[in-house]
């Protein structure tokens, strides 16, 4: 299978002397047409990894190839072949959904005749066609999320990065996104890289997953392999076993210390 994302000791350090290791010597391979999920607790380095792979920030050391393009040397090409739904994305709130997608399409050189048809199709898919001329400032968070997913798809890139794709979405919209991701991978042959805290989504959609903690990749494999490796029963248990959790008896300790009662 062709490798489309390959990181080589990819690292991003912050602070004096690099004492904060956001991503630490990450070695990872993602295959063409695969849906890969990156899991990790808050501050584990998921978003930094995605930002590095999309050339938004530069690595401290190491590099990565995205669809054969080096993130250090072929920045523009890497950006062309990827679509990104960021964790805390920016929006031009004073534009309508249609105007925003026109703008993003123009930034990615989508031909004009293709663009308007694609905008209509994507807005129809997400049930926003009737509100295409409404300013984004009037959209709910879920509706904005749908527009941002449409923006990530607008130039139909071979590799898609989704950072928390179903956050802010209602169950029906989340189902549309899940089905869409499945179709993109199975039918359109896209490579999909998902970062999420929502384990059932990752479990349901991803062919393989990676678990990152403290900037280090601590496990890679299928869900079954990860569960087997940790000798647990569910992905949740496996995740907690690898990244740490809180002992059940500690949950109400805060009351006992102060002598609170029933």
Catalog residues that contact other proteins under the rule CB under 8 A. Answer: 14-15, 20, 22, 51, 54-58, 75-77, 79-80, 84, 86, 88-92, 94-95, 99, 103-104, 106-109, 111, 135
Return the number of the residue (11 or 54) whose C-beta is nearest other proteins: 54
Return the number of the residue (144 or 227) whose C-beta is nearest other proteins: 144
Return the number of the residue (7 or 176) whose C-beta is nearest other proteins: 7
Residue 226 Cβ vs other proteins, minimum distance, rounded to whole Å: 29
Which residue, among 246, 233, 205, has the nearest Cα to 38 in the 3D structure?
205
Return the number of the residue (52 or 226) whose C-beta is nearest other proteins: 52
Cα–Cα dist 117/105, whole Å? 11
DSSP state of 259: T
Classify the C-alpha dihedral 117-154-6-36 as positive or negative.
negative
Residue 99 Cβ vs other proteins, minimum distance, rounded to whole Å: 6
Return the number of the residue (25 or 77) whose C-beta is nearest other proteins: 77
Classify the C-alpha dihedral 176-33-239-204 as positive or negative.
positive
* Sheet arrangement for strand 3-14: 20-31, 3-14, 61-66, 69-70
DSSP state of 135: B
With beta carbons less than 8 A apart as the criterion, state whether 241 and 230 touch: yes
Residue 247 Cβ vs other proteins, minimum distance, rounded to whole Å: 27
């Amino acid at each position: 299978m062709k490798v489309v994302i390959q990181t080589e000791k990819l690292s991003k350090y912050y602070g004096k002397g690099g004492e904060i290791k956001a991503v630490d010597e990450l070695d990872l391979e993602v295959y063409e047409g695969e849906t890969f999920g990156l899991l990790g607790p808050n501050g584990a380095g998921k978003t930094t990894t995605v930002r590095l792979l999309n050339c938004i920030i530069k690595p401290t050391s190491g590099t990565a190839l995205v669809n054969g393009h080096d993130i250090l040397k072929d920045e523009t090409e890497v950006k062309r072949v990827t679509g990104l739904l960021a964790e805390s994305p920016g929006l031009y709130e004073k534009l309508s959904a249609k105007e925003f997608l026109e703008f993003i399409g123009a930034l990615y050189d989508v031909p004009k005749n293709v663009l308007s048809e694609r905008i209509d199709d994507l807005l129809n898919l997400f049930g926003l066609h009737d509100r295409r001329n409404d300013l984004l400032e009037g959209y709910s968070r879920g509706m904005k999320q749908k527009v941002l997913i449409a923006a990530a798809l607008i130039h139909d890139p071979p590799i898609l990065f989704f950072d928390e794709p179903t956050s802010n979405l209602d169950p029906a919209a989340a189902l549309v996104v899940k089905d869409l991701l499945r179709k993109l991978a199975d039918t359109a042959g896209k490579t999909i890289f998902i970062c999420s805290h929502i384990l059932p989504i990752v479990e349901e959609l991803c062919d393989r997953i990676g678990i990152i903690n403290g900037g280090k990749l601590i496990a890679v494999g299928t869900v079954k392999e990860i569960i087997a490796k940790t000798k647990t029963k569910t992905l949740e248990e496996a995740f907690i076993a690898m990244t740490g959790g809180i002992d059940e008896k500690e949950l109400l300790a805060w009351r006992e210390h102060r002598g609170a009662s029933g």
